[in-house]
Amino acid sequence: MFNRYAFAVFIAVGAIAATITWFWFPWLFSPTYTIRVATGPVGNTGQRFVAALKRELAEEHPRVRLVMEESESLKQSAEEFQTGKFDLAAVRSDHPAAASGGTIVILRRIPLVIMVPANSSAKSMKDLVAKKIAVLEGTPDDDPLLKTVMQFYSLKADDIVKTAPAEIGESLRNKRVAAVLAMGPGGPGAVSDAVKAIVKATKKPPKFIDLEAKEIAAQSPVYEELEIPKGAFLSVPAIPDDDVTTVAVTVRLVAKNSMLNDVAGELTRLLLATRAKLAANNVPGAGQIEAPDTDKKGVLRVHPGAAAYLDGTQESLFDQAMSQLFNISIIGGILGSFALWVNGYWRKHRPDEVMAQKNLARLPAMMSEARTVPVDQLEAIEEELDTLSGWLLERFVHEKIEADRINGVAVIISHIRLIIERRRRLAQNMVPGG
C-alpha cells in the first residue's frame, strides 16, 4: 500500500519537473527555437549586420532561428513589439516600448545638434530664441526629442521652418533662418549632408551650439548627455572643430521580459562579437553597438540575462540545471511529506478504518469478559473472535492492514482464546467425575 502512494508521489514530482523544464528550457521540446525581431529601417549597413548576425547564430546554435522583419520606422517597430508580435525590437529610448521590456544592447545614439553660420554672433541657445530655425524635412513634427528641446528652450512652433537638406546652406546664407537643427549619428547621414550643404553655400564650416544636455536629461531621463567628438561629421576639415555637448536619444534592442535569461545573455554575446568582427572589417556603423550600463540607476532596465552576461555572473546550463534539480528536490520532499500526511489522515478517518478501530477496540473488553463471564457465555465470545479473525483476514488479503499490525492483533486474539480454553478445562475439572 505504501508503494502505491510512493509511486503516486514519484509521478507527481516527475510531472512538476517536466513542467519546470518546459518552462525554463522550451527548446528541448522543439526542433527549433524561433526568435522574432522587428528591426526598424536598417539600410545597407544594417542589412550587412543582420546577415552577419544570422550567420553567426546559425553556426553556433543551429536550432535557433532568427526571423527579422524590417519596419518602416522605429515607431512602428516599437508599436508592434508592444502588441506581442515580436520577441525583440529596435526601439527609441523615448518610446514606451523601451520601458516595457529589457535592453539587450544599445544599437546607436541619435544626437540633436544646432548649427549656425561661421559668422553668426550666436554662442548659446538663448541667442536663438524667437529666431527662425531650420529643421530638416523628414523630421516628424511630433518627434519626442525635438519637442523636448523646444519646450526646454521655449521655442515656438512658428519658429521652426521645415527645409530640404539641399536648401539648408542657401537659407542660412540668405538669413532666412538663423540656425539649423538636425538629428542623426556621426558619420554619413542627415547631419553630415546638412554640414556639406552649409560648407558649400557659405564656404565655411558651421559652428555648433552646446546644449544644456545634463539639465535636459535630468528633466527627461530617457535622454542622455552626449559629447560629439571633433571631426565626427567631416574629417577634412574637422567638423566640428572641437567637442560638442548635446543631448541624444538611444536606439535599443529590447527583449520581452519573458525571454529566458540564458537566451538574452547569449544574444548579447553574439551581438557584441558580431559588432567587433564587422567593425574590424570597416563596416560603417557596426562600431556604434555597445553594451548598456548595468548599474541599475537608469529608468530603462537592462534584461537580467544581458546584465548577467555583461557582469560575468551568467550561470552555465549545468549550474541552472543543478539549481532546478535542487528546487525540484525541495518541492518533491514537501509534496512527499504532504502526501504521506494526507494518506495517514485518510486512512485514519475513512469509514472502513473507523469500523476497524471500533472492532479492535472490543478486544480489551473481550479479554476482560473471557475472564469474568459464566462459562456457558464463552462460546459467544469465541464466535465474536471468529468473526473478527475472518474480518482481519479479509482486510489483510486486500492489503487494507499492515502485517505488523495484524500480527499484534493475532497475539491478542490467541491470548483471549487461551484464557477461554483454560477456563473450560478448569470448569471440567471442577465437575464431579469430570
> What is residue 72's three-state secondary structure?
coil
Residues 297 and 388 in one domain: no
Three-point CA angle 51, 52, 57, nearest 5°: 100
For the chain, give the percent of residues with pLDDT over 70: 76
Please state which of the ranges 65-69, 74-78, 283-287, 327-331 shows the lowest mean pLDDT: 327-331
- What is the spatial distance between Cα 16 and Cα 9, in angstroms, rounded to a whole number? 11
Residue whose C-alpha cell is 519596419: 71
Q: What is the b/e burial string over 252-288, where b = at least 16 CB atoms within 10 angstroms of the residue's CB?
A: bbbbbeebbbbbbbbbbbbbbebbeebeeeebebbeb
CB 113 within 8 A of CB 246: yes
Q: Would 7 be classed as within a structural domain?
A: no
Residues 190 and 259 in one domain: yes
pLDDT band for 284, please (50, 70, 90 cuts): low
Looking at 117-186, which runs of residues are DSSP E strands? Answer: 133-136, 160-163, 179-183
Residues 228 and 114 in one domain: yes
Judge if pTM exceeds 0.85.
no
Phi, psi of 332 (to 5 degrees): -65, -40
The dihedral built from the CA positions of residue 390, 393, 398 and 400, taken in this order, carries a sign that is: positive
Residues 171 and 268 in one domain: yes
Q: Would 55 be classed as within a structural domain?
A: no
DSSP conformation class of 89 = E
Residues 269 and 216 in one domain: yes
Contacts with 97 (C-beta within 8 Å, 6 or more apart), sequence order = 78, 79, 81, 82, 89, 91, 254
Alpha carbon separation from 9 to 4, 12, 64 (Å, rounded): 9, 5, 36
CB 107 within 8 A of CB 251: yes
- What CATH number does residue 232 fall under? 3.40.190.10
Residues 98 and 237 in one domain: yes
Q: Would 28 be classed as within a structural domain?
A: no
pLDDT band for 413, please (50, 70, 90 cuts): confident
Alpha carbon separation from 313 to 309, 316, 319 (Å, rounded): 6, 9, 11
Q: Would 48 be classed as within a structural domain?
A: no
Q: Would 228 be classed as within a structural domain?
A: yes
- What is the spatial distance between Cα 104 and Cα 254, in angstroms, rounded to a whole number? 6
What's the total number of domains in the chain?
A: 2
What does the pLDDT look like over 19-71, one tens digit per residue? 766 665 555 555 567 888 888 776 655 566 777 777 777 777 777 778 888 88
Residue ranges making up the domain that contains 357: 350-430
- What is the spatial distance between Cα 209 and Cα 244, in angstroms, rounded to a whole number? 7
Whether the pLDDT of residue 145 is over 90: the answer is yes
Residues 284 and 372 in one domain: no
Residues 157 and 224 in one domain: yes
Please state which of the ranges 27-41, 150-164, 237-251, 355-369 shows the lowest mean pLDDT: 27-41
Q: Would 296 be classed as within a structural domain?
A: yes
Which of residues 291, 314, 337 is at a domain's end?
Answer: 314
What does the pLDDT look like over 131-141, one tens digit per residue? 999 998 888 88
Cβ-defined contacts of 61-64 (< 8 Å, 24+): 61/266, 63/27, 63/31, 63/32, 63/33, 64/27, 64/32, 64/33, 64/34, 64/35
Looking at 24-167, which runs of residues are DSSP E strands? Answer: 33-38, 64-69, 88-92, 102-116, 133-136, 160-163
Residues 369 and 268 in one domain: no
Q: Would 397 be classed as within a structural domain?
A: yes
- What is the spatial distance between Cα 227 and Cα 38, in angstroms, rounded to a whole number? 29
What does the pLDDT look like over 197-226, one tens digit per residue? 888 888 889 999 999 999 999 999 999 999
Residues 305 and 396 in one domain: no
CB 50 within 8 A of CB 68: yes
Residues 357 and 296 in one domain: no
Average pLDDT score, the chain: 80
Residues 196 and 306 in one domain: yes
Q: Would 15 be classed as within a structural domain?
A: no
Which of residues 292, 314, 336 is at a domain's end?
Answer: 314
pLDDT band for 313, please (50, 70, 90 cuts): confident
Write the single-letter amino acid at 276: A
Nearest CA to 115 out of 97, 136, 100 is that of 136
Whether the pLDDT of residue 370 is over 70: the answer is yes
The C-alpha cell at 227 is 559629447
Q: How many CB atoms lie within 10 A of CB 52?
A: 19
Q: How many CB atoms lie within 10 A of CB 391?
A: 15
Instruction: Give me the mean pLDDT over the 334-359 stretch.
Output: 61
